[in-house]
Amino acid sequence: MLDAIRWDTDLIRRYDLAGPRYTSYPTAVQFHSQVGTFDLLHALRESRKALRPLSLYVHVPFCANICYYCACNKVITKDRGRALPYLQRLEQEIQLIACHLDPNQKVEQLHFGGGTPTFLSHDELRQLMGHLRQHFNLLDDDSGDYGIEIDPREADWSTMGLLRELGFNRVSIGLQDLDPAVQRAVNRLQSLEETRAVIEAARTLQFRSINIDLIYGLPKQTPDNFARTVEEVISLQPDRLSVFNYAHLPERFMPQRRINSHELPAPAEKLQMLQRTIEQLTTAGYRYIGMDHFALPDDELAIAQEESTLQRNFQGYTTHGHCDLIGLGVSAISQIGDLYCQNSSDLTHYQNQLGGAQLATSRGLVCNQDDRLRRAVIQQLICNFSLEFEAIEQQFNIDFRGYFGELWPQLQAMDADGLIKLTNQGIEVLPAGRLLVRSVCMVFDAYLEQQNRQRFSRVI
């Protein structure tokens, strides 16, 4: 079975290096300021000519309370009025982007992330979705994947009803941990009852998919209390689960400085948490998709992986990797053909640019042929746990062994260690290597230098 995993503590300790999550290749670390609005407009015109389908990401940065573990681009405020000027600029951006696309380009995927999208009032959510429908070809038959991130403390039955009415059919719920001591340590108090109420509403209103996010490695977590959280979550029967490894990087993310590092679990305890979580979820019938994602066997991600059509982009594992991804809002990233570009991460600068009728593109990257080749290799490994050399050779007109010959000693070492099976035909990531697939992908990363690794979380 594709979801088979073999736990090997020795291998994990040896290969648990800091590395990218490969939601893109090259990663956002390589973005530079020489890419700007002109490149974005050119890419949009190419997308329009090809009539490629679209995936929209909308960033809503506001949160009423700060979670100490958070590394997202966010604005902490109790003042709900701060959303209004932001939404005005966001609507300008929507209009500026849409005029360079064809009305026939269907939006197959839509995702509202943050921050806390449900920070917005019902009227603001209604107005924003109305503006998107006015300028983009959103589907009306519920066939698109239209998702939104939910904070159960900011949502009730009326909110869920509104979201369903507006066309959302997927929800992602930030839970992280249910233990009160852990919640106090990270300043996120959220009861199981609040989460259960949102899930019951989503099911009653026929949302198609429910995802729950958990984080292991938080302060005051232990293998036992995190196992209790996982058991409670399993009882809620979400369709998907994301179980993230907390990366403590207080020098980069200021809120994390409020976390007492002495209360963080030891590396051995974190390994125990992950091992027990995998055992609990697989026993409950969840498939291991890859990285930190699990899904029920009838979920679209699990089916796509079985059919070798799973892909990965800035929205994580997806069945819509063929779409051009348009990022809207502060810090949002777009992936259009061979272009990656990102809006300014500074809220004031973002709003000032759009206030002057200018797009807020601040940096990015245009892929070259080597980037495209390595991106295809990494996509196959991270999504399917396998790689056929012949398919890559035909697609890129290369001899795989000749092109990547200098990597062979590393691949042979991984083969000898039991992470992969290396043959003349390709690479298979073995059950002992699947938790470490990022480490396998890192072999093919031409940009990964030692000085950059401090920017990334560890594989496990």
Asked whether the beta carbons of 30 and 367 are under 8 A apart, the reply is no
Report how far apart, in Å, the C-alpha atoms of 246 and of each of 74, 150, 250 are. 18, 20, 12
Q: Write the pLDDT tens digit of every residue in 51-84.
A: 999 999 999 999 999 999 998 889 999 999 999 9
- Two structure tokens written together for 351: 């709003």
Closest CA to 195 of 227, 229, 223: 229
The residues, any chain, with a CB within 8 Å of residue 141's CB and separated by 6 or more, are none
- pLDDT of the residue at 1: 44
**Residues 96, 63: Cα–Cα separation, whole Å:** 27
Q: Indicate the pLDDT class of residue 456, thresholds 50, 70 and 90.
A: low
Q: Which residues contact 215 (CB under 8 A, 6 or more apart)?
A: 69, 176, 177, 243, 244, 245, 246
Supply the pLDDT for residue 457: 62
**Closest among 150, 151, 149, 147 to 170, alpha carbons compared:** 147
Confirm whether pTM is higher than 0.85: yes
Cα distance between residue 431 and residue 63, in whole Å: 40
Q: Which domains does the chain have, with CATH numbers?
A: 1-26+369-460 (1.10.10.920), 28-328 (3.80.30.20)
Mean pLDDT across 199-208: 98
The dihedrals phi and psi of 329, each to the nearest 5 degrees, come to: 110, 170
Residue 284 has pLDDT above 80, yes or no: yes
Q: How many CB atoms lie within 10 A of CB 406?
A: 7
pLDDT, tens digit (0-9, with 9 covering 90-100), for 27-53: 999 999 999 999 999 999 999 999 999
Is the confidence at residue 101, as pLDDT, over 80? yes
Please tell me what DSSP assigns to residue 210: E
At 162, is the secondary structure helix, strand, or coil?
Answer: helix
* Cβ atoms of residues 286 and 242 within 8 Å: no
Q: Tokens at residue 302, please?
A: 């699990």
Q: For residue 68, what are the CA distances in angstroms to 87, 156, 434?
A: 26, 24, 30
Question: For the segment 312-323, what is each residue's pLDDT rounded down to a tens digit?
Answer: 988 889 999 899
DSSP letters, 400-446, are HHHHTGGGHHHHHHHHHHTSEEE-SSEEEE-GGGGGGHHHHHHTT-T
The tokens for 224 are 């036992």
**354's tokens:** 């759009």
Run of H or E including 325 = strand 324-328
pLDDT average, residue stretch 115-120: 95
Closest CA to 281 of 216, 206, 193: 216
Mean pLDDT throughout 396-423?
Answer: 97
pLDDT, position 449: 67
- C-alpha distances in Å from residue 320, one per residue of 107, 145, 314: 10, 9, 11
Cα–Cα distance measured from residue 49 to residue 180, given in angstroms and rounded to the nearest whole number: 54
State the Cα–Cα distance between residues 399 and 95, nearest whole angstrom.
45
Maximum alpha-carbon separation in the chain: 61
Distances (CA, A) of 10 to 271, 290, 419, 433: 11, 20, 12, 12
Can you read off the two tokens belonging to residue 352? 């000032």
For strand 333-336 and strand 170-176, is the pairing parallel, antiparallel, or unpaired? unpaired
Which residue do the tokens 């994947």 mark?
A: 145
The C-alpha atoms of residue 149 and residue 56 are separated, in whole angstroms, by 14
Rounded distance between C-alpha atoms, residue 391 and residue 197, angstroms: 48
